[in-house]
Amino acid sequence: MKDVVIIGGGFGGLSAARRLAGMGGEIRVTLLDRKETFDFLPLLPDIVGGRIPPAAASAGLCGLAQRHGFAFQHDTVEGIDLGRRAIVGRRSAYPFDALLVAAGSEPNYFGDASLQKSAYSFNSCGDSERLAAALSAAHVETCVIVGGGYTGIEMATHVRRRFARAGRALRIIIVEAAPSILGVMPDWIRRYARDNLGRLEITVMENCRLAGVAEGRVFLGGGEAFDNALVIWCAGVQAPAFARALPFEKGPQDRILVEGSLEIRNRPGLFAIGDAAAFMRRGRPLRMSVQFARTQGACAAGNIARYLRGGRLRGYRPWDPGFVLPMANGRSCGAVGGLRLRGLLPTAMHYVMSLMLSPGLDQKARLVRALMHGI
């Protein structure tokens, strides 16, 4: 029997675990995660906005493991003993014949410890619940969202939704250090998003940096200061700490550099996928997305089985159907299959895709109920 250990039960890890477990035979699959649930990250802003409850965006990993025939261990990975080929978890050690790192990403505060303590970030349903509770505190007057990428913009629209429903006025500011929000996106998307943010009375400050946070006071680079303010951090992510500490070759954001087969460079039998990995295409890593994490999970599963049988590994071929930038007031936008989409259609696509990709029937049912009735 060969042991395959997968670190991370998100989109990539779960896709690989299901496929490997389905192969049966001589492979025993163990999936490790520090959480007991799979959390559907693209729905986190919807939790903050109050459109869905956290339960509609998460599924128990224990139940999924039972249904699909792999083992699940609730443990936090702290390192990998490369000599002994074993994962070092907080609770136990897990020897492996082949390994898949699918541990996603975590916020990058660029070494600012005080910011790490005071700013809110969101990487799980629990984070979204905490953020929603903090936003509901009566004294909060201003919400500063740092980072004008797609998560920052999506989150800003959901924060507005939450407060509009509660009948509370709140100043919402997106602070972007670069000359423009959505820097890598086409011009028309930037214009559309800016126009929609204007309608929602969300202020966009470009070429502007967060200068500091102290006791509920937020200072911006231009000298502005806001009392009773809360900071949401959407300005950068990086590979998880244990992965950054490993002696692997790294790409941008400290993501683990992988070969075309998704094997970690110069490490036979060790693979990495999704947000934790840098699969380079035309000199840049693939963007962090559900589509790439899931398809890489399937490809890595096949290659792990081939590696264990002594077969030849196959290359991963990324296919990019496009993207949607969901916004809470139904004015989403995106480019799918080369078509420019605006308004309700991309909004509907966001929820239909979420429904299709939710891993458990019970989670799908909770999501449908929440979308139909609201909470």
Name the residues that contact ligand FAD, by CB under 6 A: 7-13, 32-35, 41-42, 44-45, 76-77, 102-104, 122, 151, 240, 242, 274-276, 288-291, 293
CA pair distance 329, 325, nearest whole angstrom: 12
CA pair distance 265, 262, nearest whole angstrom: 9
313 versus 324: smaller Cβ distance to ligand FAD = 324
Residue 7 and residue 288 in contact, taking contact as beta carbons nearer than 8 Å: no
Helix axes 150-166, 187-199, angle to 10 degrees: 20
Strands 142-146 and 171-175: parallel
Q: Report, in Å, the least distance between residue 48 CB and ligand FAD.
A: 9
Residue 81 and residue 88 in contact, taking contact as beta carbons nearer than 8 Å: yes
CA pair distance 340, 324, nearest whole angstrom: 10
Q: Report, in Å, the least distance between residue 267 CB and ligand FAD.
A: 18
102 versus 135: smaller Cβ distance to ligand FAD = 102
Q: Report, in Å, the least distance between residue 219 CB and ligand FAD.
A: 26
Q: Report, in Å, the least distance between residue 74 CB and ligand FAD.
A: 9
165 versus 287: smaller Cβ distance to ligand FAD = 287
CA pair distance 298, 331, nearest whole angstrom: 33
Q: How far is CA 55 from the centre of its chain?
A: 17
180 versus 289: smaller Cβ distance to ligand FAD = 289
42 versus 148: smaller Cβ distance to ligand FAD = 42
125 versus 305: smaller Cβ distance to ligand FAD = 125
3-state secondary structure of 262: coil
> Which residue carries 């959901």 as its tokens?
158
> How many Cβ atoms sit within 10 Å of the Cβ of residue 195?
11
Q: Report, in Å, the least distance between residue 245 CB and ligand FAD.
A: 11
64 versus 173: smaller Cβ distance to ligand FAD = 64
Instruction: Quickly list H helices, the chain.
Output: 11-23, 44-48, 61-68, 113-118, 125-136, 150-166, 187-199, 241-244, 290-309, 344-357, 361-373
Q: Report, in Å, the least distance between residue 294 CB and ligand FAD.
A: 8
Q: Which residue is nearest to ligand FAD (CB)?
A: 10
Q: Report, in Å, the least distance between residue 102 CB and ligand FAD.
A: 5
- The HSE-up count of residue 5 (CA atoms within 13 Å, CB side) is 21
Q: Report, in Å, the least distance between residue 348 CB and ligand FAD.
A: 14
69 versus 126: smaller Cβ distance to ligand FAD = 126
Nearest to 151 by CA among 42, 272, 273: 42
